[in-house]
Structures are given as C-alpha cells and as structure tokens.
Chains A and B, each alone.
Chain A
Amino acid sequence: MDFALVWFILLAVLWTGYLVLEGFDFGVGMLLPFAGRNNTERRVALNTIGPVWDGNEVWLLTAGGATFAAFPEWYATMFSGFYLPLLLILVALILRAVAIEYRGKINSEVWRRRWDMVIIGSAWVPSILWGVAFSNLVRGVNLDADHQYSGTFFDLLNPFALLGGVVTLLLFLSHGSIFLALKSDGIVRERAEKLARQFSLYAIVAAGAWAVWGQIAFANAAWTWAAVAVAAVALVITWVATGLKKFGLAFTANAIGIAAAVVFIFGSLYPDVMPAINDPANSLTVDNASSTDYTLKVMTWVAVIFTPIVLAYQSWSYWVFRKRLHVDHIPEHKELTFNKG
C-alpha cells in the first residue's frame, strides 16, 4: 500500500473536518454584530458554538501535527514560507480563544463590548487567510532546489489567492449563518435565515469563479472537474434549501461543498503537495516530502483506532447541546465586576 498517498488523503479529511467545523465557528464570530443587535442576542449567537468551538479547533492542531509527522518537508517549507499569514492566523486564534472565554467573566458592558470586537476581528482574519494559503498551494509558489520557499510575502497576495480568501470568507459566512439558523430561535434565527439566503448565493459566485480558474490554470488532472461540479451542485442546493427554509439540508449541502473544495485542492495538487512554479523539478511531492513507510504505518494505526473514538464523543457533545437557543435561555449576568461592593 502507498502509505504516503493514504496520508495525503487523510490530511484532506482532517482539513475538511477543520474547515467544516471551525468554518461555522468563524462564521458565527463574524456575524456576531449582525445576528445580535444587543448583548443578549449576541450571547444567543455566541452560545450556539460555546460548548463545541474548542473541540472543533483541535482539528487544526491534528492537521498540523499530522502534516509534521507524515510530510515533514511539506510542513517545514509551507510553515516557514507562509510565515506572515500564519503568524496572523495564530495571533487571531490566540486572541479568539481568550476572548470567548473571558468575555463573560466580568459583568461590564464595556468589558464585553471590547472582547466582542476581538471575537469578531479574530474570526474575519483567519477566514480570509485560510483561503489565501490554500490558493497559493493550488497555484504553486517559488521553491528553490533545496525546497525552500524563495518567494516573498507579496507573492502570496496574488489575484487568485485573494479571490480564494474571498471564497473561504463567503463560505464561512454562509456556513455560520446556516448553523445559526439551525441552532437559534426567535429574532436571531430570523436574521440568520436572511443572512444565509444572501451569503449562500455570493458563495456560489465566488467559489465557482475560483474553482473554474484554478481548474483551468493550475490543476494537475482533469478528474478534479468532478470535484468542481460536486461543489457547484452542493452550493446551489445550499442556496435553494435556504430559500425553502430547510436549513438541515442547507448545512449538509454546504458541508459537502466545503469537502468538495478540499478534494479539489488536494486533487489538483497531486502528485505534488507544493508545486514549484519557477521550476517543476523543485516541487515538493507526495513522495519526496513524506516520512518513511514505517512512520506512516504507525500513524495510520493511530488514526484508524482513535479517529472513530474522537468522532463518537464529538458527535455526542453535539447531541447533548442539540437544543436551539433563544433569548429566554440566556441567564442574567451575575458575574463579578472589578469594582467590589
């Protein structure tokens, strides 16, 4: 068995898990000021992801760790090459984790409003940058003969990548509003349903343009047209379903759309993991970037045993918190203030 290929596929799975799950976390974060006009409404929105966002983020750490373990050369070149975008993503993720947890710790409107700004901003930044990063993989970058990234930061901000940033942004906005429509009730739900209707349409346009451009200009194979087609159909179904107010269907279809986009990204790369546009001989490939078969086999066993367990308890946590939230569910603020007495 070609274990390097197995891990290439498993990484696609991990990234799909991450983008589908944290995609709606980011979406809800970005939409906080639009879905909730006052503190209680914003809390409805925030608490739909409250119990689950932290577990969702671990998909990223798993994808990162698995890239390190399975494709050390890819990990080294990509992380040192995409340095500044990753730095911004990391700062956003740090601030976001702290902001969500600290927001409600002090009963002060000013305190909450400031952390809200952090929650919102830290959702926008990675939503755009993930698209920029993945588009640069699809497009290819400058690599020298030692597989070092030899481009500049501004090379990463090419038109295709910027469009990719818009794609993830709109996909997450659409995904987040659909999630909110599913998980909230009352005024927040009404607003989320309207937002979902709009964003799911914009997402089709942006993602469609990006995928066709990517497929024609950069893809390594023709079969990825199939992934483009699946993504397109899924996103159209998403939009239609939001019109019919079938948000369960819309969520599933949008998740399939995101998954198909990941399949397109990975499929168009293969057999490269990081194509060099300056000289194809310098490309990092599934073969030359991977770990030894032994390491990959060990990691396969670990993944085969533990991924189902993780999926089981994560699904359970979604089931525990399955109820829709509305403003009556939000308890009054009883937290401490900094001024005693």
Chain B
Amino acid sequence: MEALDLARWQFGITTVYHFVLVPLTIGLSTLVAIMQTMWFKTGNEKWLRLTKFYGKLLLINFALGVATGIVQEFQFGMNWSEYSRFVGDVFGAPLAMEALIAFFLESTFLGLWIFGWDRLPRAVHLATIWALAIGSTLSAYFIIAANSWMQHPVGAEYNPETGRAEMNDILAVLTNNTALVAYPHVISTAFLVAGTFVTGIAVFWMVKNARLDKQDPEIAIYRTAARFGAWVMIIAGAGILYTGDEQAKLMFQQQPIKMAAAEALCDTEQPAAFSILSIGHLGATDCNDVKTIIKIPGFLSYLATGDWNAKVEGLNDLQPQYAERYGATDTSGETIHYQPNLLITYWSFRLMIGLAAFSAALALAVLWFTRRGRNTDQPWLQKLALISLPMPFAAASFGWIFTEMGRQPFVVAPNPSGSDQIFLLTRYGYSTAVSAGTVLTSMITFTVVYAVLGVFWYRLMHRYASEGASPVEEPVLRDDSDESQPLSFAY
C-alpha cells in the first residue's frame, strides 16, 4: 500500500473510533446534567443516584474520547500536509475556535465537576456539569462547520498565486447551510445514542430486579431512568428523521453523485424509485450490472426534491458532467472516477437507517410496557435493551462512513454553485514528505494503542454498568477548618 492509502486507513480507523465515543459524551453529559438538575430541584435521592451512576459511565467514556480527540487535530498536519496547505486559511479557524471556545470550557469544568461535589455549593456545582455539557455540545458545532466546508465549500475564494483556498467570509463558513442541517442531525444522533444507553442499562436492571422481587423499591429508580431515556430517544429520533431528510435534499443539490451512489442509481430516472435492496457488482466502477430487486416507486424523487415525479440524475450521467467540470484525468493522466465506492455508500446509508430503528423499537416498547405506573419483568425486553445498546453507536458510525466515503474521490468536494477552483482530490492531500513506512508505523501504533485502551474502556463500562445505581451519600460542603477530613473524591 502507498502512503496515501495508509493515511486514509489511519484517518478512517482513528476517526471512526473517536466518533463512537463522542456522541455518547455529548448526549450523556446533557442527560446527566438534567438528572442532576432534577435532584437539585426535587431533592429526590433517586435522581442523585442516577446522576452518580451515569456520571461514572460518562467519565470512563469521556477520558478515552478526549484522549483520541488529540490525534484528530494533529494528523491533518502529519498525514495530510498538502490538504492542510490548501485549506488551512479556512479550515484552521473553526478548529482553533473549537479549542478556545468549547474545549477549554469542557475540560476545565470537567475537573470542577468531578472534584467539586464537596467544595462547591450545590447550585454552582450544578452549573459546572451544564458548562461541561454546553462545552461538549458546542465543540461539535465547530467540527461540523469544518467538516461541512469539506462537503460544501463556502465563504472562500481560490487564490491562484498561493494555490490555496482563502477565507473571505467567516460567517458564511459558520452558517454553511450544510452545517446548519448536519449539526442538528449529529446532535440528535448524540441524544439517540445517549438515550439508548440510559434506557438500555436501566431496562436491564428494571427487569432483573423485577424478576427477583416485584415489590423491590429499587425498580422505581430504573423505571424512571428507562422512561427518561425513552422519551429522549423519541424526541431525538424525530429530530434525526427531520434533519436527515433535510440533509438528503440538500445533498442532492450539493453532492448529487454521493446520493446517486447511496441509491446505486446508475441511470437517470424520472420519477426515480428508492432502492431497498440491490444486488450485483456494487464494488465495480461500472455500475451497469447492479440490479435493484426491491424498490419504492417515486420515493427517491420525493426524498431528493419533495416531488414524487422529479428527475434524479444517475451515476452514468453525472460522471461525464463532473469530468467536464472538474477534469477528466489527474496530473498523471489517469481517468478520474468521480463515483464513490458503491458498495460502501449504498450499504452504509442503509445500515445507518436500519440500525437506528432498534432504538425506536426499544423506546416504544419501554414506554408501552411501563405506561401508567406499570413495571415489567419481560425477559425479551431485557434482551431487546441489550441488543439495542450498541446499535445507535454503529448507526452513527455508518452515517459518518457514508458521508465521508461518499465524498470520495474528493477530500474537499466542489460546491456546484460556488467556485470551480475550490476542490481537492484526496490523492493530492496526503503528506508527500512522509514515507509509506512511516505512515504504516503510525497506523499500526494507533490501532494497537486504541485496541488495548478499548478493551479497558469496555471492561470498565461493563463493570460499572453491572454494579447498578447503588445508594450514595448526599454531598456535604467540606469544612476547611477540619484538616483531617478526607476529600469526597480523589483519583
């Protein structure tokens, strides 16, 4: 493999790994903040227990999420230096803003929250978890703005003298319509992940306790958490559907070839059918032997434009259009295939949607079986909860794989209604000064380190989740005149 392929693999591995952890951090930090707020307002001990229980799981996850996030900011320069030179004038700004505006907030208040239970008045301590939640939610905004610029470059012009994209409107970059729909989609997903996480674990405990003793007062705590998470999932799910639909419509305009690939739509159709199952040689660059065996007539036209009869352009027609506009061959004279990998885009798109459906099923089942004060001891619900638990994580990953792989062969996809000079093929973005052997070393190192840390992450998450929301002591402000009083928490 060449340095380019290795750099792509490294980016894929480290980024997917990071983005498995991040949605849980973002969603769960707010959900824990809500739990702590409920305790603050009601004084009900069950909310404190839930805060501490899910708070511990949040921290285990947070540590690895932050640690793997550092790599993200550095590997652009290490493996993608030519990309960095081309986009730095635009792309660096949101990254720097993320650190300064959001990440400082998140990290500083994290320390205050963890260690502050006995040092800060309750209201102030509550504010620290909200600052943490706001910081992590805000950080995603800047990252999405940066990523959206790679999908749909705006607010910049090409400077032939420096050979790079140069920013001329920061507001345009920060209010990129791609970002404005991608951000709520990503945040809704984070809440779906966190809601499923909260409910999944709570249902496990609710059923387990109910099977031992139906009158166990502990059941009430988990019932509360299960229903709370379920409502979060319902609201987040609605948000995902709405923003996903908006995003798809926008993407049909901005990156038509990505959407055509997602649908394995080879020839232009009017009206276009939505493919539920396609078979054939999806990996091929020539998509003519793809056969769609189950489809919904007209639905693709509707998804793309809101009109059941609209024309949707297929890959065979888009390729020559792209070739004409952005070049038929690359600098070495090779034909550029503008069609992204069909197998990956087609299936990642469907897995994204399909796997998220588990959360919907879990949410509806939980709300139904716990309606009007009911408890349940149904073992199948416990199974559904455990099966559903990893699903939205996987769905979110497939969503990212779809949108990033669907952007290929571009690393910065051209904006059809913007500058025709601002785009970059992935093959011109990697670090030419770094040898394949060096990138390989780095890729293997990160993969091994991440794998080992992933094992510890899983073992700790599993261990803490299987301990349950055990009773906790009410936090008391420490008395500083008593020199021998131990801290409420220490590493």
A320 to B64, CA, bound (A): 26
A298-B93 contact in complex given A75-B77, A90-B70, C-beta closer than 8 Å: yes
Does A46 lie at the interface of the complex (its beta carbon under 8 Å from any beta carbon of B)? yes
The residue of chain B having its C-beta at the shortest distance from the C-beta of A79 within the complex is B77
Cβ contact within 8 Å between B459 and A72: no
Band of interface residues on B:
35 or more
Contacts A62-B104, A106-B463, A299-B93 known; A79 to B110 CB distance under 8 Å? no
CA separation between A77 and B433, bound complex, in Å?
9
Apart from the given pairs A58-B104, A100-B491, 6 other A-B contacts in the complex at a CB distance below 8 Å: A68-B96, A83-B438, A101-B60, A106-B460, A303-B100, A331-B488
Taking CB atoms and an 8 Å cut-off, the chain B residues in 21-69 that contact chain A are 59-60, 62-64, 66-68
**CB-CB contacts of B70-112 with A at 8 A, as 1s and 0s?**
1101101111011011011111110111111101110111111
A103 contacts which chain B residues (CB < 8 A)?
491
> A91-99, A157-165, A171-179, A230-238: which one contacts chain B?
A91-99
CA distance A31 to B145 in the complex (A): 41
Q: Tell me, rounded to whole Å, the shortest Cβ–Cβ distance linking B431 to chain A.
A: 4
The CA-CA distance from A279 to B321 in the complex, in Å, is 45
Given contacts A64-B74, A72-B84, A75-B84, contact A330 B487 (CB under 8 A): yes
Provide the bound-state CA to CA distance between A227 and B174, in Å: 40
Contacts of B84 in A (CB 8 A): 68, 72, 75-76, 79
Judged by a CB distance under 8 angstroms, whether B119 is at the interface is: yes
Residues in B neighbouring A60, C-beta threshold 8 A? 70
- A contact residues around B120 at 8 Å (CB): 320
- Determine which of B100, B110, B166, B446 lies in contact with A54 in the assembled complex, contact meaning CB atoms within 8 Å: B110
Please determine whether B82 and A51 come into contact, CB atoms closer than 8 angstroms.
no
Chain A residues with CB under 8 A of B442: 83, 87
Contact of A229 with B by CB under 8 A: no
Cβ A76 vs Cβ B104 within 8 A: no
**Chain B, range 207-236, C-beta contacts under 8 Å to A:** none
Smallest beta-carbon distance A13→chain B, Å: 12
> Of all chain B residues, which has the CB nearest A93?
B70
In the complex, what residue of chain A is closest to B480 when comparing beta carbons? A323
User: Is B486 part of the binding interface, using a Cβ–Cβ cutoff of 8 Å?
Assistant: yes
Residue numbers of B with Cβ under 8 A of A are: 59-60, 62-64, 66-68, 70-71, 73-74, 76-79, 81-82, 84-85, 87-93, 95-101, 103-105, 107-112, 114-116, 119-120, 159, 164, 166-168, 170, 431-434, 438, 441-442, 445-446, 449, 453, 456, 459-460, 463-464, 467, 480, 483-491
**The one of B85, B434, B449, B485 that contacts A72, using a Cβ cutoff of 8 Å:** B85
Q: Give the interface of A toward B (CB within 8 A).
A: 43, 46-47, 50-55, 57-58, 60-62, 64-73, 75-81, 83-84, 86-87, 90-91, 93-98, 100-106, 148-150, 291-292, 294-295, 298-299, 302-303, 306-307, 310, 313-314, 317, 320-321, 323, 325-326, 328-332, 336, 338
Q: Is the CB of B463 within 8 A of A338?
A: yes
In the assembled complex, 24 residue pairs joining A and B whose CB atoms fall closer than 8 Å, in A order, are A50-B490, A52-B111, A53-B111, A58-B103, A58-B108, A61-B99, A62-B103, A62-B104, A65-B73, A65-B96, A68-B73, A75-B77, A78-B77, A83-B78, A83-B434, A87-B78, A91-B449, A95-B449, A101-B60, A291-B88, A294-B167, A314-B108, A329-B485, A336-B463
Known: A65-B99, A329-B487. A55 touches B108 (CB 8 A): yes
Task: Check if A87 sits within 8 Å of B459, measured CB to CB.
Answer: no
User: Is the Cβ of A294 less than 8 Å from the Cβ of B91?
Assistant: no
- A170-B89 Cα distance, complex, nearest whole Å: 37
- B68, B77, B79: which contacts A94 (Cβ < 8 A)? B68
**B167 close to A292 (CB less than 8 A):** yes
Nearest 9 A/B pairs, CB to CB? A72-B88, A79-B77, A69-B92, A101-B63, A68-B92, A65-B96, A55-B108, A76-B81, A51-B111
